[in-house]
Homo-oligomer: A and B are copies of this chain.
Amino acid sequence: MHRIAILGASGYTGAELVRLIATHPAMRIVALSADRKAGQTMAEVFPFLRHLDLPRLVKIDEIDFSQVDLCFCALPHATSQAVISTLPRDLKIVDLSADFRLRDVAAYAKWYGQPHAAPDLQAEAVYGLTEFYRDAIRDARLVAGTGCNAATGQYALRPLIAAGAIDLDRIVIDLKAGVSGAGRSLKENLLHAELSEGTHSYSAGGKHRHLGEFDQEFSALAGRPVQVQFTPHLLPMNRGILATVYVDGDPGVVHATLASAYGAEPFLQVLPFGQLPSTRDVRGSNFCHIGVIGDRMPGRAMIVAVLDNLTKGSSGQAIQNANLMLGVEETAGLMLAPCFP
């Protein structure tokens, strides 16, 4: 059993890590941190975990990292950089924050509004989109989990960009996201009374930070700068992301390219041509369902990708990466079926 620490265990991604590790065959939680809630039990912070025998929440500096095989950092953005800088340099780390996703520290400064505090760590970080960085992740010490929206969009688009199957200047990603992606934070627009029975866009107009990831990854794939239009919308549901992606390209080629790219992937399911997925069908799981349909206008295609932001978009991805880093089977602990209805 590999010994696991989770930093930032009092947030939703921290709790989701615990949920998944609860039935993981090769991981055992030995330390849990939560700065403001240190001293409490997880049952107090998350009563849904009360059946588990878990260590009490502590402050980070109370953890003996020599007894830890791998550490998940589920800390807020910016905090992660500072904390990881203080951890042992031989400790395997999967970071779930945005702090190490952008290889170019100038891009980080642009999108996150402050200089990067740990450029040396950034240099060694591997981008954590498992299916596309598998070999590097296996050998990595520090893996940077992707944004949940960024993951969804990339699953829909990477093979198409790599194959030259679509017009790179006409990509629109209209995304619908559940509210847990915003975390357990006290913001007025996240209240049930504000959010329930309504929808609205946010961070529209090319301002959402996950654009930094799209720019980095799509440009690298294409070998030239690529910019996409990307608009997220907040939906009255707790889990799930649905990305509707509009492209110029032959629908049949688009579908065949994705089906071929993902045919052997355990978690990426490409639906038959013309069928489109629903977020309800991946809730609570590490699966991503992808569908393709053609428009009545020739040469226009639409890809719809769905995943659970807390699982495949964040904590499930993190465990998938940790499995690789620890030499465990990649799917270990992650084959839980979605929870429907």
Query: Interface of A with B (CB < 8 Å)?
Result: 12, 15, 18-19, 22-23, 46-52, 170, 172, 174, 176, 178-180, 184, 186-188, 190-201, 204-207, 211, 227, 229, 231, 233, 235-240, 242, 244, 246, 266-267, 269, 271, 274, 276-285, 287, 289, 293-297, 300, 302, 304, 306, 310, 335-341
Contact = CB atoms under 8 A, between A and B. Distances in A.
10 contacts: A15-B340, A47-B277, A184-B194, A193-B341, A198-B280, A200-B242, A201-B244, A205-B293, A206-B295, A235-B236
Contacts of A279: 198-200
Closest 6 CB pairs of A and B: A206-B296, A198-B280, A200-B278, A48-B281, A193-B341, A186-B186
A266 to B, nearest CB: 8
B47 A281 contact: yes
Given A51-B269, A180-B341, A196-B197, A205 B296 contact: yes
A237 B52 contact: no
A188 B10 CA distance: 12
A231 B300 CA distance: 13
A142 B297 CA distance: 34
Given A23-B337, A197-B196, A227-B296, A48 B240 contact: no
B197 A280 contact: yes
Contacts of A297: 206, 227, 229
Contact of A188 (B15, B184, B237, B274): B184
A238 B280 CA distance: 12
A23 B192 contact: no
A282 B51 CA distance: 10
Given A231-B302, A341-B239, A289 B50 contact: yes
Nearest to A169: B297
